[in-house]
Amino acid sequence: MTVSPAAVELQEPLLIGRGTHRLCYQHPRDNSRCIKVLSRRPPRRDQLRAVQRELDMYRRLQQRQIDWSMLARYHGPVETTRGEGQVYELIRDVDGQVARTLEDWLRDTPEALDKAALLTALRQLRRYLMHYRVITTTLHARNMVWQRREDAPPRPVWW
Ligand SMILES: Nc1ncnc2c1ncn2[C@@H]1O[C@H](COP(=O)(O)OP(=O)(O)O)[C@@H](O)[C@H]1O
Ligand SMILES: [Mg+2]
């Protein structure tokens, strides 16, 4: 008989952000990953549908073996103290900080954004998504980070 591993404990200090449907925590055992859990319990039906739609998209993209340069990787489900969670790659900047969403940049420090670089990068993201035939309605500034890198311009990483 297999014993299921203990549920991963998600504590408030690990909270990174809140989305429309989910809370995003840093993974307590792997700082290159994050875990997303539904914020409402019981969840509403539309929340379950939105998450399912995203997981379906990830499954298709994994089958197509895309390159994950502009999309946060998905690492499967995990049992947590806040119910079932999904594990993703946690996007960090070159200095190790969790990358800020494009929405955060636009709201808090718009003057620090290189607008030309942003425009170029967003066009690149559009090409990338078209190349992999991704059709989505969730391309919002709060669904992507603007990742600062070493020796390369920042890039958007979407999820
Ligand atoms: N892969 C990631 N790397 C860094 N931060 C993330 C990542 N995914 C989500 N976040 C943070 O968590 C917040 C909520 O996550 P999100 O997946 O957009 O939730 P929802 O599914 O409810 O829309 C984001 O706005 C962002 O601040
Ligand atoms: Mg979101």
Query: Which of residues 74, 90, 106 is at a domain's end?
Result: 90
Predicted TM-score (pTM) of this structure: 0.94
Q: How many CB atoms lie within 10 A of CB 25?
A: 25
8 A C-beta contact, residue 5 and residue 53: no
Burial of 145 (0-12, 13-18, 19+ CB in 10 A): buried
Distance (Å) from CA 157 to ligand 1 centroid: 11
Query: Which of residues 56, 90, 124 is at a domain's end?
Result: 90
Least distant ligand from the CA of 97 = 1
Domain containing 102 equals 94-159
Q: Cβ < 6 Å from ligand 1: which residues?
A: 16-22, 24, 34, 36, 72, 88-91, 98-99, 101, 142-143, 145, 159
What pLDDT score was predicted for residue 6?
A: 83
Instruction: Let me know whether 86 and 100 are in one domain.
Output: no
DSSP state of 100: P
Instruction: Let me know whether 85 and 8 are in one domain.
Output: yes
For the chain, list residues with pLDDT below 70. 1-5
Least distant ligand from the CA of 26 = 1
Which helix (H) or strand (E) is 66 found in, with range? none
